[in-house]
Every structure is written in structure tokens, then in C-alpha cells.
Amino acid sequence: MKKDKKIILGVSGSIAAFKSADIASLLSQKGYDVSVIMTKEAEHFITPLTMQMLSANKVYRDMFEVTDDWDVEHVSLAQSASLILIAPATANVIAKLACGMCDDLLTCTVLATRAPVLLAPAMNDAMYQHKSTQANIERLKKLGYHFIGPVKGRLACGTVGLGRLSEVEDIVSASSRLIR
């Protein structure tokens, strides 16, 4: 059983956030203990209740939420992680991580972990191909972050290009390979 392997699934504000439900479900079915951290922007696309039901765990949303226990949440989540997966990873989240910014629960948890971090980008093709985004991705790769995708396909804006979230099964497979 893999329940001793904890995956933190970060969900950021992209239309592709609806696919994070399938990712959480498939990881849970494979026996991983999945905890979800949602950015405020992600909640515009998918609800915390959906993610809670599919992960069978509390969904973490707010850096300053009052809890019953004393744990510093982003540190305890970071220390418990066998892997942090951010799917979808927006240009905003990628830029924050590349600059070492941590202004929300997700980015603070990533900066506090020693676990592998896998990013699955999803955005408009022009945003993905922008020199700033490409420089941020290269910087993160040099820092040891892992990436899967994006892939070419139909995007939410109606165009076809490189920026579509990788297939759920491919993301789950990549996660399984990286988990420690």
C-alpha cells in the first residue's frame, strides 16, 4: 500500500483546474495519500468540496486559517510530502517560484519542502512561449524542479497551440516515477 506516500497536489487558477479532480481521484485510487492546496484563483474554476471528496482529505486554502492544532501548516505539509505536484501550474505560479516568492500557502509549502516538485504547466500558447515564462522554466529546471508538458492541443481561448495541460494519466505516471 502507498498510503505512506503523501502527494501534495497544488491547484492554481487555470481553466485546466477541472482536470485536477481526475488527477486527485486517480492518485487516490493508486493508493497515494493526496492532500490538496488550492490557490484562491483555483476556486473560480473548481470547488474545494470536489477536491476534498476526491482526495478524501482536507483541502488547504488559506495561509492564515485558524486551526485546532499548533502546526505551522505550510511547514508541516512540506515536511510530510513525498512529492509536490502542481497541476495546473500557471505562468503566475511558475514566475513566483522562479523568483522565490511565497505569498500564499502553495508557494510557501513548495519553498519549505525537500521533496521533489513536479509542475504541469497549462496556459495560453503565447504566455507559455513568452521569453519570461521560458526563462522562469529554465531557472526552475536548473534548481531541480521537474516538468511535464504542456502539450499541443485546443486551448480554452479557442486556438490550437502548445499550452494544454498534459494528459491526466501522463501526469500521474510522472508523479509515480518521482515520488520518494
Domains of the chain: 6-178 (3.40.50.1950)
Options 99, 102, 108, 157, the catalytic residue: 157
Q: Is residue 157 among the annotated active site residues?
A: yes
**Whole-angstrom distance, CA of residue 148 vs CA of residue 114:** 19
Count of C-beta atoms within a 10 Å radius of residue 81: 25
CA distances from 152 to 26, 117, 122, 165, 167 (A): 23, 23, 10, 9, 11
Q: What is the pLDDT of residue 69?
A: 59
Tell me what pLDDT residue 80 has: 82
Helix 18-29 × helix 168-178 angle, to 10°: 50
What confidence category does residue 2 fall into, taking pLDDT thresholds of 50, 70 and 90? low
**Residues in CB range of 130: below 8 A, 6 or more apart:** 91
pLDDT of 24-63, one tens digit each?
A: 999 999 999 999 999 999 999 999 999 999 999 999 987 6
pLDDT tens column, 105-117: 999 999 999 999 9
List pLDDT tens digits, range 69-100. Answer: 555 566 778 788 899 999 999 999 999 999 99
Measured from the Cβ of residue 180, the count of other Cβ atoms closer than 10 Å reads: 9
